[in-house]
Amino acid sequence: MKKKKNDRILIGILLIVFGGYLLATSILDKTGDIAYVKVRNTVLFSVDLRDGSFTPRKNEQVIMLEELPRVEKDGIYVNDIKLDTLEINKGIAVYENQYYIMGHLGIVVIEYKDSKVRVKEEFSPYNICSRQGFSDKNPIICLPNYVTIEFNQSETDVII
Partner 1 sequence: MSVKKLTLLAILTGVASIINILESYVQIIPGIPFKIGFSNIVTLIIIYKYGAKEAVITVLLRIVVTALYSPGTFNYATFSLSFSGAVFSLIVLSILVKLDFFGITANSTLSSLFHVIGQLVAASFLFTDVVAYYAPLMLFISIPAGIFTGILANRFLDRTKDIFIDKKF
Closest to partner 1 by CB, 39 vs 93, is: 39
Say how far apart CA 1 and CA 121 lie, in whole Å: 53
Say how far apart CA 148 and CA 153 lie, in whole Å: 17
Counting Cβ atoms within 10 Å, is residue 25 exposed (0-12), middle (13-18) or buried (19+)? exposed
Window 66-85: residues binding partner 1 (CB under 8 A): none
- The answer to whether residues 70 and 95 touch, using CB atoms and an 8 Å cutoff, is no
Query: Does 160 contact partner 1 by CB under 8 A?
Result: no
All residues at 6 or more sequence positions from 128 whose CB lies less than 8 Å from its CB, including other chains: 141, 142, 143
Mask for 28-47, x = binds partner 1 (CB under 8 A): ----------x--x------
Say how far apart CA 144 and CA 113 lie, in whole Å: 25
Contact with partner 1 (CB under 8 A): which of 113, 143, 153, 154? 143
Query: Does 150 contact partner 1 by CB under 8 A?
Result: yes
Stretch in the footprint of partner 1 (CB under 8 A) among 53-61, 64-72, 77-85, 126-134: 126-134
Per CB under 8 A, residues contacting partner 1 are: 3-4, 6-7, 10-11, 14-15, 18-19, 21-22, 24-26, 38, 41, 104-105, 124-126, 128-129, 131-133, 135, 138-141, 143-144, 146, 148, 150
